[in-house]
Amino acid sequence: MRLKLKIWRQEGRDDYGKLVSYELDNVSEHMSFLEMLDMLNEQLISKGERVIEFDHDCREGICGQCGVMINGRAHGPLRNTTTCQLHMRSFKDGDTIYIEPFRATAFPVIRDLKIDRSSFDRIISAGGYISAGTGQAPEANSIPIPHETAEAAFDAAACIGCGACVATCKNSSAALFTSAKITHLALLPQGKIEAQKRAKSMIAQMDTEGFGHCSNTEACEVECPQEISVLHIARMNWEFNKTKLNT
């Protein structure tokens, strides 16, 4: 395939960026999207030009690092797919592809397609943990947990923190991410003790980071690679409202 790429180039956080055009020949439909970017970077290196910087790690849809906007959509044209799982067979010969970083005040651009997602880390640090006594670990079967509850908690814990929910939300809300982290602990006995305190502190940190409020369009669920349900947002609101009733 022959493709025309329009890629966001930006030197640093405080610099103005712009879309730069590139043309790429002999792109195989079997390439992943990131392999296509690797191919372009190899050509830039051969010309002595600076490579296009983008986040990636596992390239298996696990780590959540590779998110970019592709033709205005987080992770590209396929639902519930990470950027590294997208293959070039999703495009046609002669296509023009626009590639930009995730856009959000809380996700400042570091360079080109790389963004700073440390705001997510600070939300988790605010309460995404449980307090446990030191000493020997308790016997695994000493706290019985129904299978349905364990599965629901695991579904929430599957969030990989890629940020697609934020990028696709018109308010740049992190409600889906935060609610998933709150829910997977609130459902389990070990997490119930601090459930209300956790919800209050994590939501406060989410607001401090500059994320917007939930838009209720459910676009976040459509783009989430792990298909995290928006019902977790309802659970988060319920936990938060309980803190108001108990104060």
Task: Please answer whether residues 88 and 36 qualify as being in contact, where contact means their C-beta atoms are separated by less than 8 angstroms.
Answer: yes
Which segments of the chain have a pLDDT < 50?
none
Domains along the chain with CATH numbers? 3-110 (3.10.20.30), 118-133+143-245 (1.10.1060.10)
Task: Please answer whether residues 165 and 220 qualify as being in contact, where contact means their C-beta atoms are separated by less than 8 angstroms.
Answer: yes
CA distance 123 to 221: 20
Query: Which pair of tokens denotes residue 149?
Result: 């509850």
Beta strands 69-70 and 73-74: pairing type?
antiparallel
Query: Which pair of tokens denotes residue 17?
Result: 């960026």
Beta strands 109-111 and 114-115: pairing type?
antiparallel
Position 247 scores a pLDDT of 61
> Number of helices (H) and strands (E), helices first, in the chain?
9, 7
Position 186 scores a pLDDT of 92
Position 140 scores a pLDDT of 72
DSSP assignments along 63-128, one per residue: S-----EETTEET-SSTT--GGG-BGGGS-TT-EEEEE----TTS-EEETTEE--HHHHHHHHTT-
Listed residue (209, 212, 206, 229) closest to 167, CA to CA: 212
Task: Please answer whether residues 166 and 102 qualify as being in contact, where contact means their C-beta atoms are separated by less than 8 angstroms.
Answer: yes
Position 142 scores a pLDDT of 81
Q: How many CB atoms lie within 10 A of CB 126?
A: 20
Position 242 scores a pLDDT of 84
Angle, in degrees to the nearest 10, between helices 175-186 and 147-157: 150
Task: Please answer whether residues 8 and 17 qualify as being in contact, where contact means their C-beta atoms are separated by less than 8 angstroms.
Answer: yes
Position 150 scores a pLDDT of 92
